[in-house]
Amino acid sequence: MAERGGGAWKRDIVRLLQRRDRRSVQAYNKLLEKSYLLGARKLQVESLPLQTELPARSVLDSAQMLECLKRSYEEQIVELQRINEELTCEMIERSTTLKAKKTALEEQRSRLASVSAQFYDLEATRQQLKGQVDELSRQNAAVKAECDNLREHYWLQDMEFRRAAERGLELLKSIMRMKVEAAEHRNEKNERVKQGRLSKELKKATRRPIGTEREPEERKEEEQKMSGAAVPEQEVREKPRRRPFRSASVTSMALSRYVDAFKGLFDFRLKRGNSHGGPSEDHYCCLPSCVATCLPSLVSDTKEAHLSEINAVTFSPNSGLVATGGTDRLVRLWSVAGGRLEHVQTLEGATGGITSLDFDPSGSHLLGASYNNVTQLWRIGDSKCREILTGHADKVTAAKFRSIRHQAVTGSRDRTVKEWDLCKGRCSRTINVFSYCNDIACCDTVIISGHHDKMIRFWDSRGPGCTQVIPEEGRVTSLSISPDHMQLLSCSRDNTLKVIDLRTHNVRQVFRAEGFKCGSDWTKAAFSPDTSYALVGSADGTLFLWNTETGSLERTLAAVHGSPVNAVAWAPSGLYIVSVDQCKKLALWT
């Protein structure tokens, strides 16, 4: 159909060109006729004056008239020849133009043929691509259906897991209840045994004849019984019985002393047995702190630690391990020995880019916040993720352990701060804030949060609301609390660091330096272990070190990082610092 249609319009074009040629020839013939008619009219017009003038000019000779007519006719013939030549030239030009247009028409036809061939090829390609698109659409629909099935299966499995966790918790509670009942039953049995033994001892004591006047040996014996010492039955039998009678007062006194002694012993054992549970919120033991910090001066080792940007770095409490986390969804542990970094382990299970890392005070667990709205808990030595804390609606930007065991705090871009019970794996409290949180610091009962609206807020874990607000000049990017919980170091986007006294909530020091520029909203600063120095990385890769006592810039460390430094950490021992940047580099300074 396409070829038939193409030949028809070509024939139409040829027919139109032929019609145009015929019209041009006809126009040319009409032009010639008009030229002849024009010449004849001119002759008639010229003859009329001559005819009118003949009677007036009768005196003229007929020969002269003929000569004049001849000349006029010759001039007309010359004029007609000139017009004929012009028309001939015009016809030649038009024929040349016609030939050129025929040539152009042939070129257009050939070009049209090639374009038609390209069109057919492109149409075939389009049909092929359309088939591929349809196939991909079917595959995408199948993959989407499979993804929906997997998501539904995941939710079902998650619900089953939660039910299993609840059943496990109920079983644990029932086991604990059974243990408590067994312990109570055992205590009751022990009490009955002790009461029976006590009654036997009392019966034996009542059978013994004791005189009213006691000998020194009997006094010693009674004193031993009063102190809780057991007297062997053989010694009792060997005692000399001096007097066959005893008074009622002495008997009642002996009975009361026996009862008091056994009752005290029984109460002591009950207290010792019940003291095993202890309080539910026990604190971590305090580790020895650094006395004096060594100022870093050179780089002892560098590593390309991750596949992409590194956001978080922290030391373990014993300064033996360094944990790093980045946008490549990896958490890596590095050993620090002899000024060298050695890769120890990669923790698995992270489902999003890491934004924050924190060791618990015992160094046995690591807490990590990530881009996919969750916080994950790992146990050191076990690469598998042990707990996933879900509940935030946006990226989790900070995660910190508290000084109370099995409790943590997280901050998120969803404008909430959450407290977590790590034993139960659930949120115990949610704090709603007007701005999203960039970092968190924790004391014993106080939670400190730094926000995008240039505010530092203080929250009491025992109360419902905010207890204190400290304004900043820029967006708060980092909070670091001193080991003695007396000072707070904040970093903000106005390129300043501030030291805040937590007792008075006043700013003690403000650190600025030429060349220092906060590189991002997650740039982290750190105190030294003895709180004598403040350390932070700049957007040009330089580390700035200030003295917190004098407020002066102590030194700058450069020529290692070629990109903005995201985070720094100071070893609790005071011997090392580490820094990470946006170009995957981890540096150890000594």
d(CA 358, CA 315): 8
* Contact status, residue 375 vs residue 369, Cβ threshold 8 Å: yes
| CATH architecture entry for 299-589 | 7 Propeller (2.130)
The 10 Å Cβ neighbour count of residue 518 is: 24
The lowest-confidence range among 79-93, 390-404, 502-516 is 79-93
The pLDDT tens digits for 226-262 are 444 333 333 334 344 444 334 333 344 444 444 444 4
Phi and psi angles of residue 246, each rounded to the nearest 5 degrees, phi first:
-140, 155
% residues pLDDT > 90 (the chain): 46
Please say if the pLDDT value at position 441 is more than 70: yes
pLDDT at 163: 86
Residues 184, 185, 190: CA angle, nearest 5 degrees:
95
Whether the pLDDT of residue 385 is over 70: the answer is yes
Residue 400, strand partner residues = 409
CB atoms within 10 A of CB 368: 26
HSE-CB for 404 with a 13 A CA cutoff: 19
CA distance 57 to 39: 26
Q: What are phi and psi of 271, to 5 degrees?
A: -65, -40
Which of 42-51, 138-147, 530-539 bottoms out in mean pLDDT, i.e. has the lowest? 42-51
Averaged confidence pLDDT in the chain: 81
With H, G, I as helix, E, B as strand and everything else as coil, classify residue 520: coil
Q: Is the pLDDT assigned to residue 3 strictly greater than 60?
A: no
Q: What is the reported pLDDT for 208?
A: 65
Give 433 or 74, the one with higher predicted confidence.
Answer: 433
H helices, E strands: number in the chain: 5, 28
Specify the pLDDT at position 49: 53
Length of the chain: 590
283: pLDDT strictly greater than 80: no
Name residues whose C-beta falls within 8 Å of residue 24's C-beta, 6 or more positions apart in sequence.
94, 98
Phi, psi of 447 (to 5 degrees): -115, 130
Residues 166/167/168/174 CA torsion (nearest 10 deg): 110
When pLDDT is averaged across residues 293-303 and rounded to a whole number, the result is 87
* Cβ pair 305, 299 in contact under 8 A: no
pLDDT of residue 278: 40
Would you say the pTM of this structure is higher than 0.85?
no
Instruction: Kindly state the DSSP code that residue 279 receives in the 8-state scheme.
Output: -
| Encoded tokens for 349 | 């299970």
CA dihedral 374, 379, 380, 385 (to 10 degrees): -50
Q: In this model, does residue 537 exceed pLDDT 80? A: yes
Q: Which residues contact 139 (CB under 8 A, 6 or more apart)?
A: none
Identify the residue with better confidence: 353 or 284.
353
Tell me the average pLDDT across 355-369. 93
Residue 263 predicted with pLDDT over 60:
no
More confident residue, 418 or 277: 418
pLDDT at residue 271 tops 70: no
| pLDDT > 80? residue 52 | no
The pLDDT of residue 274 is 39
Average pLDDT for 335-344: 91
Reference 396, options 427, 417, 423, 424; nearest CA is 417
Among 152-161, 193-202, 465-474, 556-565, the range scoring the smallest mean pLDDT is 193-202
Q: Give the range among 44-48, 70-74, 84-88, 92-96 with minimum mean pLDDT.
A: 44-48
pLDDT of residue 44: 60
Tokens of 241: 């019985």
Among the listed residues 590, 544, 532, 549, the one whose alpha carbon sits nearest the alpha carbon of residue 291? 532
At 372, is the secondary structure helix, strand, or coil?
coil
Q: Do residues 438 and 450 touch, judged by C-beta distance below 8 A?
A: yes
Sequence ranges of the domains in the chain: 2-45+70-153, 299-589
The closest alpha carbon to 6, from 134, 109, 138, 83, belongs to 109
